[in-house]
Chains A and B, each alone.
Chain A
Amino acid sequence: MSGMLGAFQDSPLFTTDNDVHVTDGLDVLWTNQRALDVATLRLREAFPSHAEHRVEFIHTNPLNWVEGGFHYRTGLTMLTLITYTHSLGTGVTPRLRVLINGVQRAQLTLTAGEQTHTVAISSIGLVSGQAVEVLLQIVDTTLEAAQAGNPDLPGEPADPSSARWGRYDLIDAYVSPLSATLTTPDPGPPTLDNTPTAAILNQLSNRLDWLAMRVGLVPWPVWQRPFNVPGLYWAPTTYHLWSGGIVRGAGSTLVVEFAYQIVTNSGERFRLLINGSEAATTPVLSAPAHNWATSWEVDVSGYSSTARLRLEIQSVITAAREADQGGRPSRFTLESVHVRRGSPGHLSMPTRTAPDESMTWTNLRGRVNALIANSNAIKSRIDDNPDLFDRARLYRAGYAYNAGARLYLEFRHMPTQRRRIGRRLVVAGRNVKIGWGPMVVRAPEEQDGEVTLEFAHTETLIASNAVETREIWLDQLPGLRVSRTYTLMGGDVRFAAEYLR
């Protein structure tokens, strides 16, 4: 495996009366620890809530609001959902209905502002290792009773200005506690004096292995990328492109990576709102302005490290060419939203030991003891950051609201990992392919009216037309190295997350 994270090797063994070996021994401990250092410094990706699209939903009750998934392991007990209700709409009493693997498990009242909802998952028949599907619906139960099984609301206009049109965001969702899914106890730090016994060295080896297992429990869901999102409007207006939520934790900078193309508008800008206030913006742009790789970096150190920030990206059109005059919507792709540390904060690693190196026992002992001390620091990082290490974020499936929309949006909302970080990818879905390497965007004119992507490398992950779960060791895909981008194609990915090992 390439890159620093490739250092996660299985634990070496030290045996009495054999040399303190390096290539498959001490050096593995060193590189494993460096990988743990990197892995435990990584911060959050934003939880993606909602992206603009062409599918009107106001006339559907219940509304299939959010689809997602998680990888169940014995020990997980709770699904937590954090909603933010901007407006409830009038004349409706919306509820949040939670279906797990198609079975309703909760129905929760929504009120204005931020709410934390919990749903027990420990005794509902989930099997360890199973990819679990979660469907969140917004439902007006009063209206539902009147519908008599017909979800289409007769006479309801497909119009967001309707009074029924409430506005809701899911700004975080996770299952927990991850720590309870590991039944093996921490071997703890050994103490090394003047005798490097097998017990001591193997305890350190086992501890680093345990820490890797512990960090390896944390899924990194594949980012749901809104690709080439066209605005609905090309008259002067402000419209929503994407929303989500994030806790900055130890991060100090919010990084938003995106690309855009102004096709015909002559006055348009894109802006980022944090908690409803503009925090960053592009200049006012005119066609044919475009940028395929740009970003905002916003200082968020002034926010509480534990507060959840509501994020929204909008387009503000001030001068447009009308559609009947050949006006066309601009395009916007959101690659990544994450927080970054102010300083790297890496552990101070002991000098790396070279095979056959000659040194004093003082020197070697110091190096091993430094590894032991660092293992404590890594353990503390894990214990002190439950938001990062004790919660498995829900994978956010496509932003579509029904199967038809999902098919329609297949090439617009694609699970895309901006930077591969893990060794193993778990995917559940149907007819899933992975694409990586240089990418060509085929224009709608070439592709039956829809944008398509062509990758230099593709591989079928799930050939079946039925939902299946697959584990893929990413190193087996040639050229897909750590930090490289990949995309999952097929339009029906129910769960996708990377794991460090």
Chain B
Amino acid sequence: MGSNHSITYSAQYKTGGVWVPMPGVLRVHTHVQSSDGGGPFRFGASVLPSATVECGPAAPATGWYRAPFRASVQVTIDGVAHPEEDVFTGILTRRTPGQWGYTFEAAGADGRIRRARVRTPLRYRRALATATTAGSVEDPDDVGYVGGLLNEIFWKSGGRPYEQAHVYPDAAFYYACDGTSVAPEWGWIDTENAWDEALKLAEAAGGQVYQDSRGVMRYVNPLLLAESTPAPLVVADTGPHASGRILYDGRVEVDEDLTAAYNVAVCTFQRRALQAPQEVYKNQDSFEIDPSQYKDHECVTSWPVRWRDQDGAVEYTVEVVACYDDGYGVTPTVTVLEESARVLELRITNPSSTRVIHVDSITITGRPVTVQQQGVARYTGPRFDANDDEDVEIRLNDSVYTQRETAAQRRATLAVYFDGYPRPVYRVGNCPYMPGVTVGQYTLFYSQQLGLVGEPCRIVDQYLDDSGTVMGLALASVVGLPKLSERFVVGTTYALSDVRRVGL
């Protein structure tokens, strides 16, 4: 290979709401890690980056904890400087004394999402994820917002659509979603850990959430995994090392976890239905409010509640019983601050400027959405080993987003297709650095050792060594996975003689 590499790091962190250069940065080391367990395309699994940042003595001593952080590199090969590219976006999580000054550790954007408290109103027949585009409406507060629940989590965690990055230059992170047709009858988010919820959504939708090497948080629709891209990256052990073609040293390790394989998937579902108006909240704890003061009170319901109908008309009533010290009744002013699926937040104001009031009870009637039917769907595929004398079955995680029996059936089917059958992951090291390579990228893989010629793969793991010279890659084969392009696609015009498959 014999080329001369040099690498320049730059990093910024956000302090006081402004991106500023990270002082004293010497080196940024990034790594992308697949989550444990299952095959490379297990639904709901994640591929997450982490970074260590080596700084000199000028490293910030304060204001860094959980600060947004981003890093980029510029590599020069044989005197040719490649464009600077982002290699990481996340938050700083730890600072320890290092050899030259201080070493910081940074987590990906998941670290931010993990701490986000996200609540949404009840959404009716809302896709779990919708495709982000340059024109997609992503702000949940916009009139006519119809974005997916996953999009809503990303937005409310501080993310902004990657395709609209120019509009949001100061976003905490960017996200890009494929669409999915998975849409439960009733969906909502109410979580203190939005990252876990995002993974649950991806699991229910079929697909994965990951943060690519550019720092973009992505949801990928599984039917697009095996789709080739124009001028796909080639990873080969013979031929030249050139633009769009990585030459590695020929050594390949193959991971293929047969113990995790299965051909039968069982998936539960919970059918939910909107109920007639009834009491959904009653609080008997009394509390006092000083004169002219107010108290905010979160009324948390057992079931998600539809507070407004499809036309936006209010469907609930709030009754607050209060009295003065002498027992005479008083009607406090009640303002609704938030209407999320399981929380109605009230501001109760004492109308008197001279007397304390005692709030004795709060009663709310509304229309809850309750579970009406529970059941199980099962998909049995062919055994992956003809010599096996029995099926291997797994039970998929229960999900509130799987509400139809047929939705459970489809989820089980997709799980067996994408995750059940053993799928090789090829690990190659000593790849010369090539700008633009990222986790999730579609790749054609060649190996004389394994007799592979242009095996379609996706990059599922990536690291860059300290010098910026060498990359390691893990490539998961996508051979045989169902592809969207082979199918009839909603919104596409066909000729009568066109032949395609329908979906799963």
Residues of chain A whose beta carbon lies under 8 Å from any beta carbon of chain B: 1, 9-28, 128-129, 194-198, 201, 353-362, 364-365, 473, 475-476
CB of A28 within 8 A of CB of B406, answer yes
- In the complex, the answer to whether A194 meets B495 with C-beta atoms within 8 Å is yes
Residues from chain B with a CB closer than 8 A to the CB of A362 are: 496-497
Query: Which residues of the partner chain B approach A19 to less than 8 Å between Cβ atoms?
Result: 181, 223, 484, 487-490, 502-504
Instruction: Name the contact of B496 in the complex, choosing from A25, A26, A360 (C-beta under 8 A).
Output: A360
Asked if B373 and A1 sit within 8 Å, CB to CB, the answer is: yes
Q: Is B131 in contact with chain A by the CB < 8 A criterion? A: yes
- Provide the residues of chain A in CB contact with B501, threshold 8 Å: 356-359
**Contacting B271 at CB < 8 Å: which of A10, A13, A194?**
A10
A366 to chain B: closest residue by CB = B496
B29 interface residue (CB < 8 Å to A):
no
- A19-B181, A19-B487, A20-B489 are known; give 8 further A-B pairs, CB within 8 A: A16-B179, A20-B488, A20-B502, A20-B503, A195-B492, A355-B503, A356-B502, A361-B500
Instruction: Tell me, in angstroms, the Cα distance from A361 to B496 when the chains sit together.
Output: 5
Please state if B493 and A24 are interface contacts (CB–CB under 8 Å). no
**Is B120 positioned at the interface, with any CB of A under 8 Å from its CB?**
no
A10-B185, A12-B404, A25-B503 are known contacts. Are A17 and B488 too (CB-CB below 8 A)?
A: no
Q: A129 with B490: in contact, given A15-B180, A358-B501 (CB under 8 Å)?
A: no
- Looking at the assembled complex, report how far the CB atom of A35 sits from the nearest CB atom of chain B, in whole angstroms: 13
B125 at the A interface (CB under 8 A): yes
B127 within 8 A of A: yes
Contact at B179–A18, with CB atoms within 8 Å?
A: yes
Residues of B close to A15: CB separation below 8 A = 127, 130, 179-181, 183, 490
6 contacts between A and B (CB under 8 A): A14-B181, A19-B504, A21-B410, A195-B493, A358-B500, A359-B500
Q: A9-B406, A13-B125, A361-B497 given as contacts; is B491 within 8 A of A22 (CB)?
A: no
Complex Cα spacing A356 to B417, Å: 12
Contact indicator A13/B181 (Cβ below 8 Å): yes
In contact, B496 and A10 (Cβ under 8 angstroms): no
Pairwise interchain contact A17-B502, C-beta atoms closer than 8 A: no
Q: Contact between A24 and B410 (Cβ–Cβ < 8 Å)?
A: yes
Whether B499 sits at the interface, judged by CB under 8 Å, is: yes
Taking the closest CB of chain B, its distance from the CB of A31, in whole angstroms, is 8
Question: A476 with B499: in contact, given A17-B489, A19-B488, A198-B491 (CB under 8 Å)?
Answer: no
Give Cα A353–Cα B504 distance, bound, in whole angstroms.
Answer: 10
Which residues of chain B are near A16, meaning CB under 8 Å?
179, 490-491
Interface string of B356-389 (1 = CB under 8 A from A): 0000000000000000111100000000000000
Judged by a CB distance under 8 angstroms, whether B403 is at the interface is yes
Partner of B494, one of A1, A9, A194, A354: A194
A353 touches B185 (CB 8 A): no
CB of B54 closer than 8 Å to a CB of A: no
Check A10–B179 contact: CB distance below 8 A: no
Contacts of B413 in A (CB 8 A): 23, 355
CB of A475, distance to nearest CB on chain B (Å): 5
Q: Mark B171-192, 1 if CB is under 8 A from A, else 0.
A: 0000000011111010000000
Residues of B within 8 A of A23 (CB): 406, 409-410, 413, 504
Q: Across the interface, which residues of B come within 8 angstroms of A9, CB to CB?
A: 404-406
Residues of A within 8 A of B504 (CB): 19, 21-23, 355-356
Q: How far is the CA of A364 from the CA of B502 in the complex (A)?
A: 9
Query: B496 near A18 (CB under 8 angstroms)?
Result: no
CA distance A199 to B189 in the complex (A): 27
Q: Is B407 an interface residue (CB 8 A)?
A: yes
Name the CB-closest residue of B to A128.
B276
B141 at interface by CB-CB < 8 Å: no
Give the interface centre of B127, B484, B490, B499 by most chain A CB atoms within 10 Å: B490
Given A10-B403, A24-B182, verify A17-B131 contact (CB < 8 Å).
yes
A343 to B183, CA, bound (A): 39
| C-alpha spacing A360/B497, complex, angstroms | 6
B440 at the interface (CB under 8 A from A): no
Kindly report which residue of chain B lies nearest to residue A424, judged by CB atoms. B372
List the A side residues contacting B443 at CB < 8 Å. Answer: none
Contact A18 B499 (CB under 8 A): no
A464 and B271 alpha carbons, distance in the complex (Å): 27
Provide the bound-state CA to CA distance between A73 and B218, in Å: 47
B276: chain A residues at CB < 8 Å are: 128-129
The secondary structure that dominates the B interface is loop
Whether A361 and B503, one on each chain, are in contact in the complex, defined by CB atoms closer than 8 angstroms, is: no
- Complex interface: chain A residues within 8 A of B484 (CB): 18-19
Contacts of A20 in B (CB 8 A): 487-490, 502-503
- Residue of B with least CB distance to A358: B501
A23 to B125, CA, bound (A): 17
B:450-504 near A, CB below 8 Å: 482, 484, 487-504
B151 at the interface (CB under 8 A from A): no
Q: How many whole Å from A289's CB to the nearest CB in chain B?
A: 45
CB atoms of A10 and B404 under 8 A apart:
yes
Question: With A19-B487, A20-B488, A195-B491 given, is the CB distance from A13 to B183 under 8 Å?
Answer: yes
Contact status B490-A196, CB under 8 Å? yes
Q: Which residues of A contact B406 (CB under 8 A)?
A: 9, 12, 23-24, 27-28
| CB of A5 to closest CB in B, whole Å | 13
CB distance from A184 to the nearest CB of B (A): 9
A104 to B: closest C-beta gap in Å:
28
A501 — nearest CB in chain B belongs to which residue? B273
Kindly list chain A residues whose C-beta atoms are within 8 Å of the C-beta of B50. Answer: none
Check if B488 sits within 8 Å of A361, measured CB to CB.
yes
Query: In whole angstroms, how far apart are the Cα atoms of A196 and B496 in the complex?
Result: 12
Q: In this complex, what residue of A is CB-closest to B131? A: A17
Whether, in the assembled complex, B213 has its beta carbon less than 8 Å from a beta carbon of chain A, the answer is no
Interface status of B447 (Cβ within 8 A of chain A)? no
B221 at the interface (CB under 8 A from A): yes
What CA separation (Å) do A475 and B373 show in the bound complex? 7
Given A12-B406, A364-B488, A194:B502 Cβ within 8 A: no
Complex contact B181–A11 (CB within 8 A) = no
User: A35 CA to B12 CA in the complex, in Å?
Assistant: 61
Residues of B near A196 (CB, < 8 A) are: 488, 490-492, 494
Most buried by B among A9, A15, A198, A354: A15
Complex interface residues of chain B between 78 and 109 (CB less than 8 A to chain A): none
Q: Tell me, in angstroms, the Cα distance from A411 to B487 when the chains sit together.
A: 60
Q: Give chain A nearest CB distance to B380 CB in angstroms.
A: 13
Q: Chain A: which residue is nearest B275 at the CB level? A: A471
* Contact, CB under 8 Å: B404 / A28: yes
| Distance between B487 CB and nearest chain A CB, rounded to angstroms | 4
A26 to B502, CA, bound (A): 9
Residues of B within 8 A of A21 (CB): 181, 410, 502-504
Chain B contacts for A129, CB-based, 8 A: 276
A362, B413: Cα distance in complex, Å: 27
Specify which chain B residues have a CB less than 8 angstroms from the CB of A197 in the assembled complex: 490-491
Closest-by-CB residue of A relative to B405 is A9
Q: Name which of A10, A196, A361 has the most chain B CB atoms within 10 A of its CB.
A: A10
Contact with A along B274-297 (1 / 0, CB 8 A): 001000000000000000000000
6 smallest A-B Cβ distances: which pairs? Answer: A19-B503, A21-B503, A13-B183, A361-B494, A23-B410, A16-B491
Q: State which residues 39-68 of B face A: CB under 8 Å.
A: none
Which single residue of chain B is at the shortest CB-CB distance from A206? B125
Q: Provide the residues of chain A in CB contact with B503, threshold 8 Å.
A: 18-22, 25, 355-356
User: CB distance A24 to B127 under 8 Å?
Assistant: no
> Would B502 and A360 count as touching, CB distance under 8 A?
no
Q: How far is the CB of A291 from chain B (nearest CB, A)?
A: 38
CB atoms of A360 and B183 under 8 A apart: no
- A355 to B125: give the CA distance in the assembly, Å: 22
| A475: B residues at CB distance < 8 A | 373, 375
Max chain B C-beta neighbours (<10 A), residue from A21, A22, A353: A21
Given A10-B404, A17-B491, is A358 in contact with B179 using a C-beta cutoff of 8 Å? no
Chain B residue at smallest Cβ distance from A10:
B185
Chain B residues positioned under 8 Å from A360 (CB to CB)? 496-499
A197: nearest residue on chain B (CB-CB)?
Answer: B491
Bound CA–CA A354/B502 (angstroms): 8
Give the chain A neighbours of B372 by CB distance below 8 A.
473
